[in-house]
């Protein structure tokens, strides 16, 4: 059993080192002029402050889709730790939106599920949602909010409740409600 534990520790260290190396590469990529231009080109984001926030967080144009799933991560962290079932639920949703295990977005999600994302990440999400919803119809905005609420609730219910009946905890519900209010506050005033 000691060999198994030592082997697991070596494997964890290896993946941690790879993750750190990739994170460093992402930061370097976003900080380059070419990386910045690609982020602007691929997203259409004109808000230079948001671009700088994304650069500071190491979020590339490839990883931007992970930021759109940040509310799911925050719900998972509502009780100060991510349960393995919540992790699996988020990765299932990520797969449904096209995030593969070899993508930058997947790596960002994994990182956020291992370490609570900094508050600046939530701020960047809010600004991204504001920028994104400016060109959306009111109906599309309502669909976005509904889909996000359904996904956050799915993550919260994934840990079960009493006898696995899928109960949302008080802290998770507060997080969901707070994120929905934050999203609604980013919508254009039409």
- The pLDDT confidence band at residue 50, using thresholds 50, 70 and 90, is confident
Residue 1 — pLDDT band, cuts 50, 70, 90? very low
CB within 8 Å of 121: residues ≥ 6 apart = 57, 67, 70, 112
pLDDT classification of 35: cutoffs 50, 70, 90 = low
Query: How many other CB atoms sit within 10 Å of the CB of residue 129?
Result: 25
Average pLDDT estimate for 101-113: 90
**Residue 14: alpha-carbon gap to chain centroid:** 23
Q: What pLDDT is recorded for position 61?
A: 75
Over the chain, what is the mean pLDDT?
81
Evaluate if residue 69 carries a pLDDT over 50. Answer: yes
User: Looking at residue 73, what is its pLDDT?
Assistant: 97
DSSP codes joined into one string, the chain: -HHHHHHHHHHHHHHHHHHHHHHHHHHHHHHSHHHHHHHHHHH----HHHHHHHHHHT--TTTHHHHHTHHHHHHHGGGSS--HHHHHHHHHHHHHTT--TTSHHHHHHHHHHHSPPPHHHHHHHHHHHHHHHTTS-HHHHHHHHHHHHHHHHHHHHTT--GGG--PPPHHHHHHHHHHHHHHHHHS---
∠ CA 84-146-95 to the nearest 5 degrees? Answer: 40
Say yes or no to pLDDT of 28 above 90. Answer: no
Instruction: State if pTM tops 0.85.
Output: no
- pLDDT score recorded for residue 155: 96
């Amino acid at each position: 059993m000691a060999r198994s534990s030592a082997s697991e520790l070596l494997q964890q260290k290896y993946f941690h080192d790879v993750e750190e190396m990739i994170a460093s590469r992402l930061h370097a990529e976003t900080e380059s002029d070419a990386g910045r231009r690609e982020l602007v080109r691929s997203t259409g984001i004109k808000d230079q402050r948001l671009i700088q926030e994304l650069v500071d967080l190491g979020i590339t144009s490839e990883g931007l889709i992970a930021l759109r799933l940040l509310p799911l991560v925050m719900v998972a962290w509502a009780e100060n730790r991510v349960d393995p079932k919540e992790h699996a639920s988020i990765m299932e949703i990520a797969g449904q939106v096209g995030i593969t295990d070899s993508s930058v977005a997947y790596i960002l999600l994994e990182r956020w599920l291992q370490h609570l994302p900094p508050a600046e990440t939530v701020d960047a999400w809010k600004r991204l949602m504001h920028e994104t919803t400016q060109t959306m119809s009111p109906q599309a905005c309502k669909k976005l909010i509904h889909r996000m609420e359904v996904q956050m609730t799915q993550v919260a219910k994934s840990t079960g409740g009493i006898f696995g009946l899928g109960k949302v905890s008080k802290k998770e519900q507060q997080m969901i409600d707070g994120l929905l209010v934050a999203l609604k506050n980013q919508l254009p005033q039409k």
